């Protein structure tokens, strides 16, 4: 191991109490989403931290009270060396009043070798480790040849895609690492899109007319949209089973590509035949698929079912896909991320991991989703790599192993140094 890197790695071990304190500081900022609109103070803290380390700061509101912070540290020889984006989200999962935490979720405690508090695993641990790695590089007086960009974004928990806003603002690099929950595995991911399917009658009918539309000789061409939606749900289940048989992706259990009928809203009053019904669905798809592709497949299947039903054929279902916020417009998109196992940065990250943990790095896929897909959609090679487990993420008494946080920070300081010293 390079003497410079070895010295930095030793610093992580010697100063792990400072690292834990940094994580505790981040957890103390109450940033649950929902309700969101509460990250400004935490983001100011990150901005000040990065500015002190020589970063140029770009901060802007994605939503009022929820700003993105991007810090850019220009490399000494950036035209000749590789650049890196480190990305993480400041928002954390919501906390319900009836959850039985051993202490205030936003007053972190250390117990049995772990830091306990909301957001420790998902994903303020990743933010803390990456920031501490930057601090050590700065204090050692190391001038990186390649550009280093740090993105602290908002909205990941509710589909508000602060990372997409960074991509749209023009931030690019030769590689991006999303330091979200991965249990120190190097991962890609499948994708998710939500959608609304609406069945609406062109007319309204009193419930007293139901006999005339369902029994012989009634001669009233009408239907309950709730009952018709049941046929559509059955069709979605058929498509889901078809996907499970015909599609697969290495690393995913068969049938991971699911269609979840999550919420149904229909009818207006017991004295009416239900004249409108809306179904909110969540579609999971594989890393080699796009949300546009799977949405089209769903639409084509459901419209084929509608053509076989006399009433639906005249009252075709309508589709509304995605959205920019689960809070604002009740919709979200998480693009998939197909990881390139042969990419030089992936190899560098694997080597960094192996040099610290003395075991092979596991390259695979995450069973959940995060902002990593937005980099892939923007043409930026990326991987997910962070501390914490999905079992702890969003859980009551959420916690992060201090040992794993230390290991992650050692890997990150090694990777940042090596990748930003890599010549183009």
Same domain for 140 and 71?
Answer: yes
Query: Is position 332 within any domain?
Result: no
CATH of the domain at 284: 3.30.70.360
Q: Which two tokens stand for residue 375?
A: 């980099």
Same domain for 373 and 268?
Answer: no
Give the pLDDT of residue 166. Answer: 98
Same domain for 173 and 115?
Answer: yes
pLDDT tens digit sequence for 31-83: 999 999 999 999 999 999 999 999 999 999 999 999 999 999 999 999 999 99
Query: Is position 331 within any domain?
Result: no
| CB contact set of 375 (below 8 Å; sequence gap of 6+) | 85, 87, 163, 167, 176, 178, 337, 381, 382
pLDDT tens digit sequence for 394-423: 999 999 999 999 999 999 999 999 999 999
pLDDT tens digit sequence for 274-327: 999 999 999 999 999 999 999 999 999 999 999 999 999 999 999 999 999 999
pLDDT tens digit sequence for 353-392: 999 999 999 999 999 999 999 999 999 999 999 999 999 9
Same domain for 97 and 232?
Answer: no
Show which of 289, 321, 353 is a domain's final residue.
321
CATH of the domain at 345: 3.40.630.10
- Output the CA angle 191-168-343, nearest 5 degrees: 55
* Average pLDDT for 163-169: 98
Show which of 287, 321, 355 is a domain's final residue.
321
Same domain for 157 and 69?
Answer: yes
Give the pLDDT of residue 241. Answer: 98
Give the pLDDT of residue 422. Answer: 98
Q: How far is CA 23 from the centre of its chain?
A: 20
Same domain for 36 and 157?
Answer: yes
CA–CA dist 130, 405 (Å, integer): 10
Give the pLDDT of residue 342. Answer: 96
Same domain for 305 and 351?
Answer: no
Same domain for 364 and 412?
Answer: yes
Query: Is position 326 within any domain?
Result: no
Query: Is position 135 within any domain?
Result: yes
* Residue 154 dihedral angles phi and psi, to the nearest 5°: -115, 165
Percent over 70 (pLDDT), the chain: 100
DSSP state of 209: G
Query: Is position 328 within any domain?
Result: no
Query: Is pLDDT above 70 for 1?
Result: no
The catalytic site residues sit at 91, 156
CA distances (Å), origin 209, targets 47, 205, 212, 271: 64, 7, 5, 10
Tell me the CA end-to-end span of the chain in Å, nearest whole number: 22
List the domain range (segments joined by +) for residue 264: 191-321
Query: Is position 145 within any domain?
Result: yes
pLDDT tens digit sequence for 74-108: 999 999 999 999 999 999 999 999 999 999 999 99
CA–CA dist 110, 120 (Å, integer): 11
Average pLDDT, the chain: 97
* Average pLDDT for 19-30: 98
Q: Specify the number of domains making up the chain.
A: 2
Show which of 272, 296, 321 is a domain's final residue.
321
Give the pLDDT of residue 156. Answer: 98
Query: Is pLDDT above 80 for 124?
Result: yes
Same domain for 236 and 363?
Answer: no
Query: Is pLDDT above 90 for 273?
Result: yes
Same domain for 369 and 240?
Answer: no
pLDDT tens digit sequence for 340-355: 999 999 999 999 999 9
Query: Is position 355 within any domain?
Result: yes
Query: Is position 122 within any domain?
Result: yes
Query: Is pLDDT above 80 for 120?
Result: yes
Q: How many helices (H) and strands (E) does the chain have?
A: 12, 16
Same domain for 11 and 149?
Answer: yes
Same domain for 80 and 154?
Answer: yes
CA–CA dist 168, 296 (Å, integer): 25
């Amino acid at each position: 191991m390079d003497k410079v890197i070895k010295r930095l790695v030793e610093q992580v071990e010697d100063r792990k109490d400072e690292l834990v304190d940094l994580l505790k500081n981040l957890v103390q900022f109450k940033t649950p989403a929902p309700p969101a609109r509460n990250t400004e103070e935490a983001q100011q803290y990150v901005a000040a931290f990065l500015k002190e380390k020589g970063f140029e700061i770009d901060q802007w509101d994605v939503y009022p009270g929820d700003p993105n912070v991007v810090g850019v540290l220009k490399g000494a020889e950036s035209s000749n060396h590789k650049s890196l984006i480190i990305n993480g989200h400041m928002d954390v999962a919501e906390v319900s009043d009836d959850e039985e935490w051993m202490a205030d979720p936003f007053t972190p405690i250390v117990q049995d070798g772990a830091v306990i508090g909301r957001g420790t695993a998902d994903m303020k641990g990743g933010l803390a480790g990456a920031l501490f790695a930057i601090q050590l590089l700065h204090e050692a007086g190391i001038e990186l040849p390649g550009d280093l960009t740090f993105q602290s974004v908002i909205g990941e928990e509710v589909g508000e895609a602060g990372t997409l806003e960074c991509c749209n603002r023009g931030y690019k690099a030769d590689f991006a690492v999303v330091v979200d929950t991965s249990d120190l595995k190097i991962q890609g991911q499948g994708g998710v899109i939500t959608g609304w399917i609406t069945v609406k009658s062109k007319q309204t009918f009193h419930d007293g007319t139901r006999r005339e539309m369902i029994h012989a000789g009634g001669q009233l061409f009408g239907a309950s949209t709730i009952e018709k939606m049941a046929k559509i749900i059955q069709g979605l289940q058929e498509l889901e089973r078809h996907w499970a048989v015909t599609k697969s992706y290495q690393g995913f259990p068969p049938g991971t590509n699911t269609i979840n009928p999550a919420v149904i809203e229909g009818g207006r009053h017991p004295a009416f035949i239900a004249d409108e019904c809306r179904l909110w669905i969540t579609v999971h798809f594989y890393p080699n698929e796009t949300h546009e592709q799977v949405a089209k497949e769903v639409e084509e299947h459901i419209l084929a079912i509608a053509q076989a039903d006399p009433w639906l054929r005249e009252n075709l279902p309508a589709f509304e896909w995605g959205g920019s916020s689960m809070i604002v417009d009740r919709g979200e998109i998480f693009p998939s991320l197909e990881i390139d196992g042969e990419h030089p940065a992936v190899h560098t990250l694997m080597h960094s991991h192996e040099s610290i943990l003395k075991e092979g790095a596991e390259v695979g896929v995450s069973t959940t989703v995060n902002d990593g897909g937005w980099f892939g959609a923007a043409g930026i090679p990326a991987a997910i790599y962070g501390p914490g487990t999905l079992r702890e993420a969003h859980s009551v008494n959420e916690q992060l192993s201090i040992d794993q946080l230390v290991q992650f920070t050692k890997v990150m300081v090694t990777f940042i140094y090596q990748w930003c010293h890599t010549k183009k």
